[in-house]
Amino acid sequence: VSTQSTGFEPLKEHFMKLYLSARVLLRGNTSFPELPIPVLQTWREGVRPNCIPQLSISLTTLVNRLKAHAYRATTEGKFTEAVQHFLYILHSLPFLIFERSKTNEVNELLAICREYISGIRMELKRKEMAGVTGETGQKAVDSAVRQTELAAYFTHCSLQPAHLLLSLRSAMNCAYKIKNYKLSASFGRRLLELNPKPEIAAQARKVIKFCETNSTDQYELEYHERNPFVVCGITLKPIYKGTPHVKCPLCKAPFSEQCNGQLCSICQLSQIGASAPGLSHFESYA
């Protein structure tokens, strides 16, 4: 990997695992200490020996973790656990050795982790705000509006259809509760395009029917669904197309210019806006 990293602590676990998996101890006579032997990747006859260590991290194991753990935790609503799985995968990528033909697959895995971490952080923030009790008056209204904004932003992350459906259902309900009926109906129609289960489809149609007879929005949100945007990973505010912004050199997460120089809140490794090429390809001889 070639990237300007400022937060190495999250990588400690991976360094230790790689160190332990790349060596074995050879026992000799009882009076002599054990001899450490490096474990190298296989080599073919006629090809110079491969001096690359055998790694415990592979693209296959990371993809399996994505499907078996990260996606499942997201589906079950265990968002804190899901973020940990996505971060583990993302933090493993700088150590990955892969064939050039797998470059697109590695970049896709990086993008998936970035999108899910970003989206789930919005949902966790929304749930945190929803869990606050005792708010009244304008403060309660502002909180409800902000929760609806976060739910709306989540629907624009690149998610699996099943997870996008869940985010749209949440956004539809949030908009409905603050009487932004026009917006709620829009989320409902997007939800129906995903062919949800009959009971979810029935609920969406019911909401849409009511909202279409009351096609107004009571509150103005910092959200324009037809204007392309990305969400700043720190402020959790939209950055609309054409607005200058900076990115993390490793995970490519977008940030407002005011966040330049800070630690990336998505990968927690690199300095926002730093000049670095990010992940670089390194091919095994095996």
pLDDT digits (tens, 9 = 90+) for 219-263: 999 999 899 999 999 999 999 999 999 999 999 999 999 999 999
Q: Is the pLDDT of residue 179 over 50?
A: yes
User: What is the token pair recorded at 108?
Assistant: 């896709």
Q: Is the pLDDT of residue 187 over 50?
A: yes
Roughly what angle, to the nearest 10 degrees, separates helices 137-154 and 103-130?
160
Which residue did the predictor score with more confidence, 213 or 20? 213
Q: Is the pLDDT of residue 5 over 70?
A: no
Return the pLDDT at 85.
Answer: 97
Which residue did the predictor score with more confidence, 283 or 188? 188
Q: Is the pLDDT of residue 24 over 70?
A: yes
As a whole number of angstroms, the distance between CA 104 and CA 20 comes to: 29
Return the pLDDT at 237.
Answer: 97
SS3 per-residue string spanning 218-249: CCCCCCCCCCCEEECCCCCCEEECCCCEEECC
User: Is 280 within 8 Å of 4 (Cβ atoms)?
Assistant: no
Express as a percent the part of the chain with pLDDT over 70: 90
CA dist 168 → 123, 159, 160 (Å) = 12, 11, 12
Which residue did the predictor score with more confidence, 60 or 26? 60
Average pLDDT of the chain is 89
> Residues 67, 105, 47, CA angle at the centre, nearest 5°?
115
Confidence of residue 188 (pLDDT cuts 50, 70, 90): very high
Q: What is the pLDDT of residues 116-175, one digit of tens each?
A: 999 999 999 999 998 887 778 888 999 999 999 999 999 999 999 999 999 999 999 999
Identify the weakest region by mean pLDDT among 14-18, 126-130, 216-220: 14-18
Confidence of residue 285 (pLDDT cuts 50, 70, 90): very low
Return the pLDDT at 2.
Answer: 42
Q: Is the pLDDT of residue 77 over 70?
A: yes
Confidence of residue 1 (pLDDT cuts 50, 70, 90): very low
